[in-house]
Amino acid sequence: MADLFSVLSTSATALNAQQSVTSVISNNLANVDTPGYSRQTANLQSSSLDMLGGVVLGGGVTVSNVTQTRDRFVEAQLPSSQGAAAFSQAQSNSLTAVDALNASNSSGISSALAAFWTSMQSLSQDAGNASLRTGAVTATQALASSFNSTSSSLDAARSGLDTQIIGSLTQVNTLSQQIATLNTQIRGASAGAQPPNDLLDARQNAQDALVALTGAQVVRDAQGDVSLSLGTGLALVSGESAAKLSTSPDVSNGNHVAVFATLADGTGPVSVSNAAIGGQIGGWLSARDGALKTAATAIDQLAYDVARAVNTATTSSFALNGSAGQALFTIGSSAAGAAGSISVNNAIVNDESLLPTKGTSTAGAGDATGLANLINVQSQAMSGGQTAATTLATLTSQFGSETQQATANAAADQASLTHLTTLRASASGVSTNEELVNMQRAQSAYQAMSRVITTTQAMLTALMAIAP
């Protein structure tokens, strides 16, 4: 009888185990579309039963624990891939959104500069023609306006990235604190027999999001904590503590925001270099202070060079009334901000006869000797050693090349991330077909053990019936 009761006990334990397996499968199927959910597995473990007489017989099966299904090799590669893909995509999106340096833009500086020279050449054919003078002044205003609008567009793009950076840091701080809190909760929950799978999923999701934003490096310690640090080693999350990022205007960078960190131990804030930040925020910073800043600085220099060269020519010439020539452009004393501030001399705008065209004060109205000096600026080398048109073409080509390279990098990095994400989904994602097969297997085992219990009960009944 003792043996039959042992069979019943073993069978009951097996039924409970298969019920647990079914419960885990049910949970997997319920979360088949849950973002970040990692498939769970009920791990079965055989047990032994020490019978009288020292004979050890099988004691059935129990569920030892329920664990996540993750490929550690894939998981180890994902953070760097997530950060790289987010960086290159943010950089690409930021640069491709800028149309001001598009070579095919009919309202760009290139077209305005060509129209400016054309109008001056036309005026040189009949320097006393009022209509041609009006056209020349209008073309000059259009050139200044084109410089203004291009500068404004580039500055707006950089300021727009400031706004995105500021907004994203709130999310960074929230995620950092969330991971630190989860470290504490997971450490406490891990003291029990069962892994805290839901907490582990929550921390993994927060980690993925933080890495995509900042490109942070991930380190796991022996206690199971996850720490994340920026490229210079600055810790965003250290065990149960988290740093806090903030911004402040950088006077040396046109008051565009710089990133600072109050460290996990409460000290700071300390400056965080652009090079230390990867991910999406790093991509924004790279675009803002890389290609966009370079282009803005080059446009300022070109506007300054053109204005200075043209003004040198016009101030050495004379107006129709014989008065000394005035500067055609109003420009500052340095190249900084020149494209945004350049304008046409109001006196010439209000009185087009003051546009200097004569070589001497006594020359006739049709004399264009002074205007010839202005037209020669077209072939004059600017501060970079090239003509204004060539300088602009080089600038535009360089910006386009950097944009194309960023786009190519984004495509390559995204392909790598997609591959790893697919591998993660294959290892950790829930397959409906696979779970249904597992459920049928558990159901078959459950039914088999039910038959064992039914048979054992019949045997016990028969035994009881013949017992004296």
Indicate the SS3 state at residue 51: coil
435: CB partners within 8 A, 6+ apart: 25, 28, 29, 32
How far is residue 413's CA from residue 350's CA, in Å, rounded to a whole number?
Answer: 56
Number of Cβ within 10 Å of residue 376's Cβ equals: 11
Number of Cβ within 10 Å of residue 394's Cβ equals: 13
Can you give the chain as a three-state secondary structure string? Answer: CHHHHHHHHHHHHHHHHHHHHHHHHHHHHHCCCCCCCCCEEEEEEEEEEECHHHCEEEEEEEEEEEEECCCHHHHHHHHHHHHHHHHHHHHHHHHHCCCCCCCCCCCCHHHHHHHHHHHHHHHHHCCCCHHHHHHHHHHHHHHHHHHHHHHHHHHHHHHHHHHHHHHHHHHHHHHHHHHHHHHHHHHHHCCCCCCCHHHHHHHHHHHHHHHHHHCCEEEECCCCCEEEECCCCCEEEECCEECEEEEEEEHHHCCEEEEEEECCCCCCCEEECHHHCCHHHHHHHHHHHCHHHHHHHHHHHHHHHHHHHHHHHHCCCECCCCCECCCCEECCCCCCCHHHHCEECHHHHHCHHHCCCECCCCCCCCCCHHHHHHHHHHHCCCCCCCCHHHHHHHHHHHHHHHHHHHHHHHHHHHHHHHHHHHHHHHHHCCCHHHHHHHHHHHHHHHHHHHHHHHHHHHHHHHHHHHCC
Name the burial class of residue 249, with classes exposed (0-12), middle (13-18) and buried (19+) by CB atoms within 10 angstroms of its CB: exposed
Which uninterrupted H or E stretch holds 456? helix 432-466
142: CB partners within 8 A, 6+ apart: 112, 115, 116
| 59 and 47 Cβ atoms separated by less than 8 Å | yes
Predicted local distance difference test score (pLDDT) of residue 27: 82
pTM above 0.95, yes or no: no
Query: Which regions in the chain score pLDDT beneath 70?
Result: 1-2, 48-59, 103-104, 106-107, 192-193, 467-468
Name the burial class of residue 254, with classes exposed (0-12), middle (13-18) and buried (19+) by CB atoms within 10 angstroms of its CB: middle
Q: What is the residue type of 344?
A: V
How far is residue 79's CA from residue 212's CA, in Å, rounded to a whole number?
Answer: 8
What's phi and psi for 58, nearest 5 deg? -60, 135
Predicted local distance difference test score (pLDDT) of residue 1: 45
Cα angle at 434 between 432 and 435, to 5 degrees? 65
**DSSP string computed for 194-247:** S--HHHHHHHHHHHHHHHHHH--EEEE-TTS-EEEE-TTS-EEEETTEE-EEEE
| 233 and 239 Cβ atoms separated by less than 8 Å | no
| 132 and 123 Cβ atoms separated by less than 8 Å | yes
**DSSP string computed for 338-363:** HHHH-EE-HHHHH-GGGS--BSSTTS
Q: Cα(first)–Cα(last) distance of the chain, in Å?
A: 14
In sequence order, the β-bridge partners of residue 63 are 44
Predicted local distance difference test score (pLDDT) of residue 441: 86
The tally of CA atoms less than 13 A away on the side-chain side of residue 149 is: 15
How far is residue 120's CA from residue 379's CA, in Å, rounded to a whole number?
Answer: 14
Handedness of CA 306, 309, 311, 313 (dihedral sign): negative
| 245 and 260 Cβ atoms separated by less than 8 Å | yes
Predicted local distance difference test score (pLDDT) of residue 291: 95
User: Pick from 136, 175, 154, 327: which is nearest to 254 by CA?
Assistant: 154
